[in-house]
Amino acid sequence: MPLWSKERVLRSCLSPRHAVAILSLVSAVSFASGLAGPSSGGPTPGLAAASFGAGCLALAGYVDFVRRILPDPLLLCAVVAAGASALESGPGQAVRACAVASAAIGVAYAVAATTSLGRGDAKLCGAIGLWLGQPLQAGVAVLGGVGAAGAYALALAAAGRLNPGGALPLGPWLVGSAWWVWSVSGSGPAA
């Protein structure tokens, strides 16, 4: 299956038209949030790239929620957008964002080797690290996402709907937490 095929990107869980609508809506809300943020320097190419990356991450989180798999093409688009945003912020920020991404993916792959964390979730952690660009924000986002997924699992268990052998999607919770950290802190590569 080619990397950029509709089946590889959307995993048959939504139409291309709906995918574009989700991507556009999340990107627009992220752009507006970035403009309203405490460190906004106005509309910049870096903010536009970071906002597009947010849309790609949201779409990947949706696919993970429905199909329990994070599409590599969407993660790649988010990484390219976050990298462009970091580069627009200057060489120092780009190096810091790459270091945060490398650390995040390294730790996540180490955890994936000994737990049920998926490799897609590890790649997502790297993308989030690059997108946020700051170690503290990336750590808070990942811990917040894991905590939110745990709360979701407890709610499913309380309702008697938790499948003990089934997979719990972590992607939507990581993406939601990262977006919240990005919008509240006004940080990330574009800041």
Of 156, 74, 148, 146, nearest to 115 by C-alpha is 146
Predicted pLDDT at 190: 44
φ/ψ of 134, rounded to 5, equals -125, 135
Q: How many CB atoms lie within 10 A of CB 21?
A: 12
Sign of CA dihedral 63, 74, 149, 189: negative
* Residue showing tokens 């429905």: 66
* Cβ partners under 8 Å of residue 31, min gap 6: 43, 47, 48, 51
Question: What is the per-residue pLDDT across 86-125, written as a single tens digit (0 to 9) for each?
Answer: 898 889 889 999 999 999 998 888 888 877 778 888 999 9
Q: How confident is the model at residue 8 (pLDDT cuts 50, 70, 90)?
A: low
Q: Which is nearest to 134 in space by CA: 39, 55, 23?
A: 39
Contact 20, 62 (CB under 8 A): no
The residues near 4 (Cβ < 8 Å, ≥ 6 apart) are 73
Confidence of residue 157 (pLDDT cuts 50, 70, 90): confident
Using H for helix, E for strand and C for coil, what is the string for 16-38?
HHHHHHHHHHHHHHHHHHHHHCC
Residue 28 to residues 113, 153, 166: CA-CA distances in angstroms? Answer: 37, 31, 34
Q: Express each pLDDT in 162-177 by its tens digit.
A: 777 777 889 999 999 9
Per-residue pLDDT at 123: 92
